[in-house]
Chain A
Amino acid sequence: MPLTQDEIKTIERILGRKPTQEELAMFEAQWSEHCSYKSSKLLLMWLPTKASHVIIGPGRDAGAIEAFPGIAIVFKIESHNHPSAVDPYNGAATGIGGIVRDILTLGAKPIALLDLLYLGNPKDHHANWLIRNIVKGISDYGNRIGVPTVAGDVWFDSSYNRQPLVNVACIGLVSKQKIVNDKPEPGDCIIIAGNDTGRDGLLGSSFASRPLSSDTDKDIGAVQVGNPLMEKLIIDFLIELVEEGVIKYIKDLGGGGLTTAISEVMADHNLGAEIHLDKLHLREDLTPIEILVSESQERMLLIVNENNLDRVKAILNKYEIPYSVIGRFDKSRRLRVFFKDELVADIPAKELAKPHVIRRMYRPPIEALKGLRDITIPLPRDMQQAFEMVLSSPNVASKRWIYEQYDYEVGIRTVIKPGQGDAAVLRLLDGTKRGIAIKGDANPRYTYLDPFRGAANSVAECFRNLVAVGSEPLAIVDELNAGNPEKPTHFWYFARMVKGIAWMCDELSIPVVGGKVSFYNENEYGQQVKPVATIVGVGKLVNIEKAKSMDFKEPGSYIVVVGITYPELGGSEYLHTVHGIDEGEIPIPRPVAELKCAKLLQKLMKHEALLSAHDVSVGGLATSIAEMSVQGMLGVDVDLSKAPIRTISRLDELMFSESQARYILEIHEGKLNLVLKETQDLGIEVGVLGKVVDNGKIIFRYLGKTIIDMDLQHVHEVYTKSLDKLMR
């Protein structure tokens, strides 16, 4: 988004003169929504960010928590929505590149990637092309840099046919005392290492800070192109530099390019700097403006004390990395930019890095009433067919077609792999049995119908997923994908989502250690795509051998549902798939019940009473049981009327309601009484539904009557192959 007249006046006041062309370009890049958070800053202050285990909270390129004494987990989320709409392959690939470099800035070793994709209808030709290439972009880039893609979230909705949402997250590991976070000082050298700077991604952040134009070909020059080999070498040389302790501070050249990277360091540390653009290694002849705002990928800003300069150069030479020493910091607090000895820009760093925040207005659109509507639907005549429709919906069915394209095992840490459990579990490989769990969650239909509850439910679902695999949830990062902040009816969704996350995080005592905001997610007609709050959470496990996958394991064990089912079909997958309705009141978030259930699961795991665990979410109770059955290739015989309910009057409500704070557990045959006693002590309602059986059948009964009787093999086929079929 170009600068407004008001902003240009402000710039003239800051400088006391008319800005040069170079200075204007720098302000445009830095004051773009993407880099400056000028519209979102005031609302983001709602989020709880503090806890005793938080080492670095929001504000840096990545957040860091102390997962175990002395061991830091660094993580961050990022969106690459606009580039992916124009050039899905390169857009998604460079999204991965960017988030990995964010993790590297703290000196951490990237150990896992997550992708959270909100994609169009696979049956739409354009959307299908986008899906294929987004997945291929992530696959080619992530696989080549040797960081496993272990988890994520995928959703299909026709509002994303033209403008998909591509969110990626990266998890890093570093010992606490090795985190690179020294204070840069006057005299320190500024090195740019990595790719040559070229004409790609010029003002990419500015491009991401406005709606797509109807002619996307015009935007293609703003999309960056990735070089995963260079990224891999950057990972390798940085790990060596960090190991030797010769580096003071690292910054990624991401959105806003050189301008943003340098001015943010200066502003954060009250420094000035003198840089010489002609010293930078370039791919082609560039003007000073192009050098300042180019977003060429795989470039890092390294800040090094002069005494360590030779050692740093030696390591860069070993890996054959191009680099340039382009200048030094000083005390001036001004960024002075030279090109061939000519001063082309001279700006106070603080003013450049921190634009004035804007208080945006918001109000609910008429559309928001959809989320309050009472829904009347007929009971399906054929319940078995309805069940099959829900299971085969791409939002529910196995995402195997996607995750098998990712190397999810490189690094030999992945204990619970994609599809096996509610969250990925990775071992630390530090000679102990310790590990972490990670998962990403969102539900666009929820956040569209009720952004506050929808975002809160995403936090809760992430929390449940982390608990289900046996971890203790520690912290989250969030990505808020919204429409045009200048339109009050779009901005309302953003405001409500932030407050929803903040409320649920406060209730669950989970800090938010980082995040990102993406605005202007509109189609070519100015309509916002369904807004989404994506949540990525990290939990810790003391012993990864005790981690719980979701597959049924032993015939004869008990199937127990934890938590109450309410008649909450609004916004459900069932309503969408079977009745074609995307309306209604979405499930109510239940933080108190979430905490109680989590406590129960933790106790039961300590007693070794659980064989497997799975949360209940999209698709409801019936879907969750079927998923566990398919994963374990063991049948079930359950009576759904044994589930604890409140005011449920119909079978479809019981089967498909997406009420929160529920889990399905597989309990050791001999431990049922112990489980029932623990639940009673905690005041949690549970129902013993039936048993795991080895007869190759999925049988659901209701008050003695058989309502579902299907071959497991058939259900397996429906669940695992539905997405393959759509993508073939």
Chain B
Amino acid sequence: MTKIAVLKFPGTNCDLDVVHVLKTTTNLDAEVIWYQDFRARKFDAVVIPGGFSYGDWLRAGAIAAQTKAMGEIRVAIDMGLPVLGICNGFQILVEATLLPGALLSNECGYFVCKWVRLRVRRPRGPWLILLEEGQEIDMPIAHGKGRYYIDEDTYMKIASTSPTIEYVNENPNGSSFNLAGLASPNGLVLGLMPHPERSAEEELTPRGKIPGGIYIWKSIELSLKRGW
């Protein structure tokens, strides 16, 4: 059975949420893996879930990015395994330079938890296969350090090559170019601040919102079955 590793660092707190969603909305198997026990070859894809790895000491994601587990993540990417970083997972991928840019404190100065509207650009790769160019979806954010920073030159490059996810209507944290997330050019490695695991079930979706997470989970299910 196809199996997804859900990586857990000290301080990770969305691990069980991701496992629940994978098991209830897809046919995939998922398991929480303690960071010291993670070996890439045993799995078909990896999710680095949200939380506060190492209590956000130093910088969000900075310490986790230096662990051996992230060396294994590099192996995984070389092997062609899809990798998804959500919230703190995104921060870790950025700190590990597996995705460009940096994540800074929100412009308002405090943690923000709310549902936001997102637009997907240039969807491609295993995590976004079911989404269409320009499609709008909703997901909740919950972060204090989600202001994505990137310089204009790098952005111009990304904007012509890589899939991105951007905030529509309002920019909740002051991110450059309204970026909520982005992927490597082939879409194999995706990182985003909003939480797809909190927006994949009808029960949890406020009235009038489009549960956006379901597209991500259904995409990876399809991709692992048929390729992408």
Which of B14, B54, B57, B144 has a CB less than 8 Å from the CB of A146? B14
B134 interface hit (Cβ, 8 Å)? no
Distance of A405 Cα from B106 Cα, bound (Å): 12
Which of A139, A227, A233, A404 has its CB near the most chain B CB atoms (within 10 A)? A404
Closest to A544 in B: B203
Over the window 47-74 of chain B, the binary record of Cβ atoms lying under 8 Å from chain A Cβ atoms (1 yes, 0 no) is: 0001110111100000000000000000
For residue B177, CB closer than 8 A to chain A, the reply is: no
A427 an interface residue at 8 Å Cβ cutoff? yes
> At the interface with chain A, which of B77-85, B91-99, B110-118, B178-186?
B110-118
Q: When the two chains form their complex, are residues B52 and A232 in contact, meaning their CB atoms are under 8 A apart? A: yes
Q: Is A357's beta carbon under 8 Å from chain B?
A: no
For the complex, give the distance between the alpha carbons of A545 and B197 in Å. 19
A429 and B112 in contact (CB under 8 A), knowing A143-B144, A318-B34, A320-B10?
no
> Which chain A positions have C-beta within 8 A of B144?
139-140, 143
Q: Which residues of A contact B201 (CB under 8 A)?
A: 412
Q: Is the pair B14, A410 in contact by a Cβ cutoff of 8 Å? A: yes
* Cβ-defined partner of B111 (8 Å) among A146, A405, A415: A405
User: How would residues 5 to 28 of chain B score, 1 for a CB under 8 Å from any chain A CB and 0 otherwise?
Assistant: 000001101101100110000000
Chain A residues with CB under 8 Å of B14's CB are 146, 410
| Chain B residue with the shortest CB-CB distance to A229 | B55
User: Bound complex: CA of A545 vs CA of B16, how far in Å?
Assistant: 22
**For the complex, what is the distance from the CA of A411 to the CA of B204, rounded to whole Å?**
11
Q: Which residues of B contact A319 (CB under 8 A)?
A: 10
Does residue A210 face the partner (Cβ distance < 8 Å to B)? Answer: no
CA distance A407 to B207 in the complex (A): 19
Instruction: Write the nearest CB–CB distance from B99 to chain A, whole angstroms.
Output: 23
In contact, A412 and B10 (Cβ under 8 angstroms): no
Report if A410-B13 is in contact (Cβ < 8 Å); known contacts: A405-B110, A405-B112: yes
Q: A228-B52, A427-B203 are in contact. Are A143 and B111 (CB under 8 A)?
A: yes
Complex CA gap A319/B12 in Å reads 12
Asked whether, in the complex, the Cβ of B52 is within 8 Å of the Cβ of A414, the reply is no
A-side contacts of B111, CB under 8 Å: 139-140, 143, 405-407
Taking a contact as CB atoms under 8 Å apart, the answer to whether A143 and B198 are in contact is no
Q: Does B102 contact A (CB under 8 A)?
A: no
Q: Is the CB of A412 within 8 A of B11?
A: no
| Structural contact, B34 and A429, CB atoms closer than 8 A | no
Interchain CB contact (< 8 A) of B140 among A229, A409, A411, A429: A409
Residues of B within 8 A of A549 (CB): 207
Within the assembled complex, what's the spacing in Å between the Cα atoms of A332 and B58?
49
Option from B51, B197, B207 in Cβ contact (under 8 Å) with A553: B207
A415 to B50, CA, bound (A): 20
Bound CA span A229–B13, Å:
11
Q: Does A145 contact B (CB under 8 A)?
A: yes
B207 touches A232 (CB 8 A): no
With a cutoff of 8 Å between Cβ atoms, the chain A residues found around residue B17 in the complex are: 410-412
A232 to B56, CA, bound (A): 13
Q: Tell whether, in the assembled complex, residue A407 and residue B142 are in contact, meaning their CB atoms are under 8 Å apart.
A: yes
- The reply to whether B198 and A409 contact each other, CB–CB distance below 8 Å, is yes
Q: Which one, A139, A233, A407, A553, contacts B110 given CB within 8 A?
A: A139
Residues of chain A contacted by B11 (CB below 8 angstroms):
144, 229, 232-233
Closest beta carbon of chain A to B92's beta carbon, Å = 15
Q: Return the contact of A412 from the options B54, B198, B206 (Cβ within 8 A).
A: B198
Q: Find chain A residues with CB under 8 A from B56 CB.
A: 144
Is the Cβ of A146 less than 8 Å from the Cβ of B51? Answer: yes
Q: How far is the CA of A427 from the CA of B16 in the complex (A)?
A: 15
Judge if A516 is at the interface, Cβ distance under 8 Å: no
Q: Could you tell me if A229 and B203 are in contact, using CB atoms closer than 8 angstroms?
A: no
* Cβ-neighbour of A232 out of B13, B16, B140, B195 (below 8 A): B13
* Cα(A227)–Cα(B50), bound, Å: 19
Encoded as 1 (CB less than 8 Å from any B CB) or 0, chain A from 294 to 336 comes to: 0000000000000000000000001110000000000000000
A-B contacts, 12 of them at CB < 8 A, read: A140-B144, A145-B13, A146-B14, A229-B11, A229-B55, A404-B113, A405-B111, A409-B113, A409-B204, A410-B50, A412-B20, A420-B206
B residues with a Cβ closer than 8 A to A are 10-11, 13-14, 16-17, 20-21, 34, 50-52, 54-57, 110-114, 140, 142, 144, 195, 197-198, 201, 203-204, 206-207
Given contacts A232-B10, A409-B204, 12 further A-B contacts (CB under 8 A): A140-B144, A144-B55, A146-B51, A228-B52, A320-B10, A407-B113, A409-B142, A410-B14, A412-B198, A414-B204, A420-B206, A544-B203
Q: Top 4 nearest A-B pairs by Cβ distance?
A: A146-B13, A229-B55, A407-B142, A144-B52
